[in-house]
Amino acid sequence: MAARPPRTGQCRGCLGWGTLAQPPYCSPCHQWRSKKTNQPGTCRRCQFPALVTPEGLCRGCILAVKESDADWYYAPDDRGRDVQLTLIMPGLGQRRAMPIGSYRKRSDGRYHPPDWARSQRSAAPADDKRICPPAIPGQLLLFRPRRSLTGEHAARISARRLAGYQELERELAAYAADHGYTRAWRQIADGMIRLALAVRDSDGDTLISLAALEDLPHLRDTVAELARRAMLLSQEPMAARRPRFGPRPRHARSAWRAARPRERCPACGQAGVRLRGNLCRACARQAGVSSLGKDCSGWVQLSMGWPEPRNGLPSAPTDRPQSREQDRAISGHLLWPGQAPLADARRDWRLVFAMLPALPALTQDSAALLADFESEALAQRWTPGIRIHTTRAMRILLSWLGTAAPIPEADVRALGTAHRDVKVRRLLWFLSSHGLLDQEPSRELSADHAAVTRLIDEIPQPMAAELRHWVAVMRGQGRRKRPPASFRTIRNYLSYASPVLCGWREHAASLREITRQDVQAAVGARTGGDAHHLIVALRSIFRALRQERLIFANPCAGISVTRAEALPVTLPPDRLAGLLDRARTPAARLAVALTALHATQPAELRAILMTDLDLGERLLPLGRDPRRPQHVGVGSRVLDQFDGHVAAERDLFLPVHRLSPLARADTASAVS
């Protein structure tokens, strides 16, 4: 069947007007109809019946969205949008309608839209003046507004110059390195630091206040700790705010009216107060807040009249009796130095949380340590909720286990499992800083450290002991000081050398018995990169043992393994000649010659100008690394051809060769 002759008209598929190669469709629409994945339906964007993709878009809408309508991609709607009229002209290539794509996960761990969609969005401002504008110096703040900040606001002030940012950035780098946080966490923390400094400048302060930290969406405690380390945290207490929800004070007062008649409180000495659990309401409330209880007489803690927040101080006491500290007995489960456990058992602290008012009494050392913990919590500006819950958890540990012996880490972590409000990391940090934490060996070892230990245990003695000395030297604990190597590096070395070491145990009991011939035989049995990795690992092991004076000689001395680097394969001459014959224009021939002979990149080809040719030096510079400039030498015959081409606009073929900067003076003898 003969093909239909082209005719001029309107394409039935894309509604374009012009010469139709496959009447009544244009060539792209004819190919669009041949795809099996495209089925008849209604386009989601233009609401027109057509062949649509599995995404629900016709060909015209795909082109419109990818070129100028990315707003529909971010927020699709079914209102029906217009499609641009297309002119179909002979010789003018038509665009292919490729799938619009979806969000993909990038190297930063986040999902990003396609490149074409991001290119249509205007770049976010690096310093948006609308976000926390700095106050005029010396201007008094009439009232402090409550801000709702997000991570996007931090990105919009990424280029703002903030006083104190460099100090906080250094503290953040040290803090992240100490805790082993990831790069993504550091980016989030950096944004929170910028927001805190911006809020400080907007309030007209010189230091970061606690009220400014309340506006941050994340990592308030971390930013407070960093500001405290950098001496940028204000010591002024934060003004209390009236919460939106929560019981009003009259609820607590009505609960006390149902208690006993008015008597004298034995703790504070007040007369005519109602008692419950042998304490008045003020003393019972103070006993619930302070871990030491209320054992002072003659004074009552001042309290404000606004409602108490749910995560702050405790509400009205319950009907459970609250005993005083001096009336309680010391725990019979205190840890004592040298006491070995009869059986390893995990503690269940849930019952202890149920008996909080009746905890055992604190010893004198435990009470002093708990007071230090409360002082440290206040100095670090922990929030009231975290401070209260963490102090209660610390009191449980000290009252139940004491301070005479280090507290096992498993017991501290079990405390966090029993109650969700317990901050285990803060407890571990405080106990470890005071030498009262018995750390679990399994948690101290990283995955690489555990792998190194496992590989060494598989090797018999005394080789295993010698390898442990090598690990100590690699970690910077040898006779000579050296930067410690990571366990990842040690694991790689040991994985390469472990099969050889296990094979040597058949004829050698110690590494002292290994000779140069043994090393050469082991390396000679491998080729390429395996041989290179093996000799590097063995050289490290024997050099460290020789340094520690555990062996007499280094059997790896003088043994080297060369690796043959694979050179790039050039094009055969016949194929290169064929490419040059197919090039129709001088520019195409020049591009083929530079690409095939000198590996010139496409960006470098696009950057070459006619004015770049140095006729005096006969050099053509290439836009490579400015520190190591590259030039192409041009022969005399080529220059004559160039002059003739400029005069008569004839075709030009530039046979060129590479010259280094040192050979510029010798360009007269360049190969043409």
**How far apart are alpha carbons 316 and 248 in whole angstroms?**
11
pLDDT at residue 564, as a whole number: 62
Sign of CA dihedral 70, 76, 81, 86: positive
Residue 173, pLDDT > 80, answer yes
Strand partners, 40: 51
pLDDT at residue 37, as a whole number: 84
Domain ranges of the chain: 7-115, 123-236, 259-301, 350-443, 447-547, 573-669
Tell the residue number behind the tokens 């209604």, with chain if given: 42
* Angle between helices 447-457 and 487-504 in degrees, nearest 10: 10
Residues 6+ apart with CB under 8 A from 49: 40, 41, 42, 43
Cβ proximity of 424 and 395 under 8 Å: no
CA distances from 272 to 57, 83, 258, 266, 280 (A): 81, 85, 15, 12, 10
For residues 254 and 358, which has the higher predicted lDDT (pLDDT)? 358
- What's the token pair of residue 336? 């004592």
**How far apart are alpha carbons 410 and 344 in whole angstroms?**
10
Strand partners, 9: 18
Residue 96, pLDDT > 70, answer yes
pLDDT at residue 129, as a whole number: 81
pLDDT at residue 63, as a whole number: 85
What is the pairing mode between strands 49-52 and 39-42?
A: antiparallel
| Sheet strand arrangement including 17-20 | 7-10, 17-20, 87-88
Side chain identity at residue 429, one-letter code: W
**How far apart are alpha carbons 634 and 615 in whole angstroms?**
9
- At 475-533, the pLDDT tens digits run 887 777 778 888 888 888 888 888 888 888 888 888 888 888 888 888 888 888 888 88
pLDDT at residue 288, as a whole number: 54
The reply to whether the predicted model has a pTM over 0.85 is no
Q: Which of 346, 342, 429 is nearest to 394 (CA)?
A: 429
Cβ proximity of 241 and 412 under 8 Å: no
Averaged pLDDT of the chain: 75
Q: Which of 659, 658, 641 is nearest to 650 (CA)?
A: 641
Cβ proximity of 634 and 613 under 8 Å: yes
- At 357-414, the pLDDT tens digits run 567 778 888 888 888 888 888 887 788 888 888 888 888 888 878 888 888 888 888 8
- What's the token pair of residue 258? 């149902």
Q: Which of 114, 188, 196, 116 is nearest to 162 (CA)?
A: 196
pLDDT at residue 138, as a whole number: 65
Q: What is the DSSP letter of 610?
A: G
pLDDT at residue 232, as a whole number: 86
pLDDT at residue 670, as a whole number: 36
**How far apart are alpha carbons 194 and 459 in whole angstroms?**
53
Residue 61, pLDDT > 80, answer yes
Q: CA dihedral in degrees (321, 325, 330, 331; nearest 10)?
A: 50
